[in-house]
Amino acid sequence: MERRPQESRKGLTHRAVPRVAGLLLAMALMNVLLYLCLDRFFISPRRSTEDPGLCPYGYFRMGHMKNCSPWLSCKELRTEVRQLKCVGEGAVKRVFLSEWKENKVALLRLTSPEMKDDFLHGLQMLKSLQSKHVVMLLGYCEDDNTILTEYHPLGSLSNLEETLNLLKYQNVNTWQHRLQLAMGYVGIINYLHHSPLGTLVMCDSNDLPKTLSQYLLTSNFSIVANDLDALPLVNHRSRTFVKCGHRELHGDFVAPEQLWPYGEAIPFHDDLMPSYDEKVDIWKIPDVSSFLLGHIEGSDMVRFHLFDIHKACKSHTPAERPTAQDILDTYKKVLNSLRDTMMSQTREML
């Protein structure tokens, strides 16, 4: 008699277990269904997987802004932006330090109507390539030929030496920071070669000063690409290659395949000039990296360790040059191994 309640409880438990398991299974199934439905209907921001701090397409967030704000329109650019002073100029744009809601911003104005196509191409690229590698777009107005971007007070990479010579930047004027800058630069080239739009070539880079002027140094000592006015698309599958401009190029900063191949006997003609691929960017990396490494204690040691990969970049056969990713991997390895060596040397000294 005494066992009966126990038995009945046992019996109840026996009957309840499948019911509970069924309930749990149903709940799990519902969760899966809900997850699938949400995933279908929720349009995830394009860039959120890449960098959680970035805004969805068409939005920006800068300085102390809490939320993402839509790109500024013509009306907002006309009424809310106060132009202060000219801080830079190239063939396509004149750049003004300006103010928007107490933020320093850069207002880019088209210099002359003949350059409008390049200006619009640059704007299109800025819109499509927003990421940690590219300057932040804040707004634009095609009718007024204006673009608004985040202002970087340290300016372009052309000012790097001057900036690093300032007393307040002595702590970052080390081979470690400079190698990290070079990694940032190669990271940008790698991003362009694997961009959401396909393989893009950084064409506006026919000499070192020109190349440096297309990138900005941020206040936290990283590099962003700024001038995207000449980024033609390569497609190896459809055998679509590019030419950087329509004029004859000279010098050894550009890749050998960018030079007129038929000698002086045949005058240069754009139609006869063969096209090429993204490996022209790889050819230029050793020169840019060497500039970034500068001439301080330790830069020659880094140069020595990068000798082989840089030699490979200078291969006359484009296909034999490494990819930007290969170079990035080598830079990382060199940085880590040199750091380890320094650490163990310091430990031995103590």
The stretch among 44-52, 167-175, 210-218, 239-247 that binds ligand ADP (CB under 6 A) is 210-218
Angstrom distance (rounded) from CA 32 to CA 195: 33
The stretch among 11-19, 91-99, 285-293, 310-318 that binds ligand ADP (CB under 6 A) is 91-99
Q: What is the CA radius of gyration of the chain?
A: 28
Only one residue has tokens 């070079």, namely: 182
309 part of the interface to ligand ADP, by CB under 6 A = no
306 part of the interface to ligand ADP, by CB under 6 A = no
Tell which one of 183, 202, 216, 249 touches ligand ADP (CB under 6 A).
Answer: 216
Nearer to ligand ADP, 219 or 238 (CB): 219
Q: Are 59 and 66 within 8 A, CB to CB?
A: no
- What character string, x for contact with ligand ADP (CB under 6 A) and - otherwise, covers 226-265? xx-x------------------------------------
Nearest to 255 by CA among 275, 235, 271, 238: 275
Nearest to 62 by CA among 166, 122, 152, 165: 152
Which helix (H) or strand (E) element contains residue 76?
helix 74-80
Residues 201-260 that bind Mg ion (CB under 5 A): 214, 227
206 part of the interface to ligand ADP, by CB under 6 A = no
Only one residue has tokens 């950084």, namely: 202
Angstrom distance (rounded) from CA 15 to CA 169: 74
Angstrom distance (rounded) from CA 100 to CA 102: 5
Tell which one of 106, 188, 242, 255 touches ligand ADP (CB under 6 A).
Answer: 106
Residue 245 CB, nearest distance to ligand ADP (Å)? 13
Looking at residue 26, its amino acid is A
286 part of the interface to ligand ADP, by CB under 6 A = no
Q: Are 153 and 219 within 8 A, CB to CB?
A: yes
Q: Are 244 and 280 within 8 A, CB to CB?
A: yes
The stretch among 1-9, 82-90, 233-241, 305-313 that binds ligand ADP (CB under 6 A) is 82-90
211 part of the interface to ligand ADP, by CB under 6 A = no
- What character string, x for contact with Mg ion (CB under 5 A) and - otherwise, covers 66-105? ------------------------x---------------
> How far are the Cα atoms of 10, 12, 19 from residue 4, in angstroms, in the given order?
9, 12, 22
Residue 89 CB, nearest distance to ligand ADP (Å)? 6
Angstrom distance (rounded) from CA 200 to CA 184: 17
Tell which one of 60, 71, 96, 151 touches ligand ADP (CB under 6 A).
Answer: 151
Tell which one of 92, 203, 255, 282 touches ligand ADP (CB under 6 A).
Answer: 92
Among Mg ion, ligand ADP, none, what binds residue 205 when CB lies within 5 to 8 Å by partner kind?
Answer: none
Angstrom distance (rounded) from CA 246 to CA 24: 68
Residue 191 CB, nearest distance to ligand ADP (Å)? 18
* Paired strand residues for 187: none
Phi-psi region of 117 (alpha: psi -120 to 50; beta: other; left: phi over 0): alpha
Among Mg ion, ligand ADP, none, what binds residue 88 when CB lies within 5 to 8 Å by partner kind?
Answer: ligand ADP
How many other C-beta atoms lie within 10 A of the C-beta of residue 145? 19
Nearer to ligand ADP, 77 or 92 (CB): 92
Percentages of the chain per state (helix, strand, coil), in multiples of 5? 45, 15, 35
Tell which one of 95, 231, 309, 334 touches ligand ADP (CB under 6 A).
Answer: 95
136 part of the interface to ligand ADP, by CB under 6 A = no
Looking at residue 272, its amino acid is L
60 part of the interface to ligand ADP, by CB under 6 A = no
For binding to Mg ion (CB under 5 A), which residues are involved? 90, 214, 227
For binding to ligand ADP (CB under 6 A), which residues are involved? 87-93, 95, 106, 135, 149-152, 155-156, 213-214, 216, 226-227, 229
